[in-house]
A and B are shown apart, each in its own frame.
Chain A
Amino acid sequence: MKVGTRLLFALIALWVVTGIPAKASDAKFITVQSTTSTQNSGLFDFILPVFKKQTGINVRVVAVGTGQALKNGRNGDGDVLFVHAKSAEEQFIVGGYGVKRFDVMYNDFVIVGPASDPARLAETKNIFSALKKISTSKSLFASRGDNSGTHKKELQLWTKTGLDPTLQSGTWYRETGSGMGATLNVAVGMGAYTMTDRATWIAFENKGQMKVLSEGDPLLFNQYGVMLVNPKKHPHVKAELGEKFISWLTDEKGQATIAAYKLKGKQLFFPNAK
């Protein structure tokens, strides 16, 4: 068993030398359930080191869709939620799963699509007419289809337009069931329209022939909120550290840091905590 023993020793040496513990027990940290847009846009990579420097607290981000983040929060798998689906968040609070919800920042959604613009969307500011044009021309539309904040918003807008695209699922309406970036990749690949938050769009590096075709309707407002998972439901929640993160995000220091984050010369998120 020489080879096996040697391998085993090599492995033990690897664990010891590199010293990353298998169990997450190091120092002060909180787990934040958040969305793909805040991660993919690079916001966390920018603001978290600043927060760490000012408070000594490490923030571990699990980036999933808002729907899954809320579900994970409900199960107690995280200390803080940082998401963007206001009514679902309010339900979360009403259900007693979270303590209190705070507005943090906003940006907006845009409709992007192929430069050839088969549905003639360009310059259509009104979101209802934009969606109607896509639907009547039966142009390909890639939907997140994953119960995320963006997906909920998109469905809401279709409903307000008086349309139910899910009836056309599989024809021109394509539900990818994946994150924003993955859905953008799909849209680029098949020349489809899709709705994305502006931050992910600006940061996205595989735009191909796609561009923003409809923007600016006040209904495309995208509000981000933060809340502590209720320690009364889940006693292990690091309430003190989590509250520190929440108050940092919503006070001057955090708000200024969010405003300072720019990518390709553009500000991606606009602080609006009260």
Chain B
Amino acid sequence: MGEIGQAFAIAFDLVFSLDRNLFAIVLLSLKVSLTAVIIACILGFGLGAGLASLRFPGRKAIIIMINALMGLPPVVVGLLVYLLLSRSGPFGVLSLLYTPMAMIIAQVILITPLVAALCLQSLQDLHYEYDEFFRSLNLSPSSKMKTLLWDARLSLLTVALAGFGRAISEVGAVMIVGGNINHVTRIMTTAIALETSKGTLALALALGIILITISVAINAAAMLIRSTAKRYAHA
């Protein structure tokens, strides 16, 4: 088990020697996953708000679908996006395969259902509370959705974090559509997989420790935003 102790030492060394390669990999990981989260939030919040405030035929079926898709296996999403973006696929001409954009697309598909389902969950309770109030004001559907989203903004931050957590930690999809190309599409999780396959387990674990640390930092920052916003709300 010497590897675990060693991993901490290596992680420390890597971070404090400001390893350029590592820095680029971390940055690309964040870029891909943050972009994917923002796009997924735009889509997912819209979808969640629509489902929470509107009643239409087929609504239940859509809810069941997005709840089921929360558990999409990353490797299946990767395969699907590969087939779509492959030169022989319908979007081959865009030459997006093996680029960060392909990884963003895969992660958006992966986390949008999660974001939508969790968003719906938060808004549904709120909608139940606001229903009569909405009726008395005779609000349009879009103002209803806006009100719900705005009033639930703090819970939605947690939803976004859940999406981010899933995006930054997955390897199955980005490995297939990104190709783990050095300096182009290598991110934290694919680098960890590569080091593991080289048998350099301590280095792989060190990268894992750094990844976890970054996730903790981002979550802490989000919580800080949340508590500041709450203080303002109560002032």
Contacts and interface: CB of A to CB of B under 8 A. Distances in A.
Nearest to A188: B199
A62 B225 CA distance: 40
Interface in A183-199: 184-185
Interface stretch (A13-21, A123-131, A135-143, A145-153): A13-21
A182 B30 contact: no
Given A24-B184, A60-B181, A62-B179, A77 B98 contact: yes
A20 B31 contact: yes
A240 B218 CA distance: 45
Contact of A22 (B95, B99, B182): B99
Question: How big is chain B's contact interface, by range?
Answer: 35 or more
Contact of A14 (B34, B97, B150, B198): B34
B86 A75 contact: yes
B88 interface: yes
Nearest to B87: A76
A184 B99 CA distance: 30
Contacts of B198: 40, 181, 203-205
B199 A205 contact: yes
Residue from the set B88, B153, B157 with the largest chain A CB neighbour count within 10 Å: B88
A11 B38 contact: yes
Contact of B182 (A1, A61, A75, A204): A61
A234 interface: yes
A63 interface: yes
A60 B197 contact: no
B196 A60 contact: no
B6 to A, nearest CB: 11
Nearest to B229: A3
Chain B interface secondary structure, helix, strand, loop or mixed?
Answer: helix
B86 A77 contact: yes
B101 to A, nearest CB: 4
Nearest to A179: B197
A230 to B, nearest CB: 12
A60 B101 contact: no
Given A36-B197, A77-B87, A205-B201, A60 B98 contact: yes
A206 B180 contact: no
Contacts of A207: 199
A179 B101 CA distance: 26
A76 B86 contact: yes
Interface in A1-50: 1, 3, 7-8, 11, 14-15, 18, 20, 22-24, 31, 36, 39-40, 45
B199 A206 contact: yes
B28 interface: yes
A165 B38 CA distance: 50
B96 A23 contact: yes
A220 interface: no
A160 interface: no
Interface in A57-79: 60-63, 72, 74-77
Interface in B166-211: 179-182, 184, 194, 196-201
A232 interface: no
A133 B78 CA distance: 41
Nearest to A32: B181
Contacts of B96: 23
Contacts of A22: 99-101, 104
Given A62-B180, A76-B88, A184 B97 contact: no
Contact of A11 (B34, B88, B89, B182): B34
A181 B181 contact: no
A150 to B, nearest CB: 13
Interface of A: 1, 3, 7-8, 11, 14-15, 18, 20, 22-24, 31, 36, 39-40, 45, 60-63, 72, 74-77, 178-182, 184-185, 203-207, 234, 236
Interface of B: 27-28, 30-31, 34-35, 38, 86-89, 92, 95-101, 104, 150, 153, 157, 179-182, 184, 194, 196-201, 225, 229
18 contacts: A23-B101, A24-B99, A40-B197, A45-B182, A60-B182, A62-B180, A75-B88, A77-B97, A77-B98, A181-B199, A184-B199, A203-B198, A205-B200, A206-B199, A207-B199, A234-B87, A236-B87, A236-B95
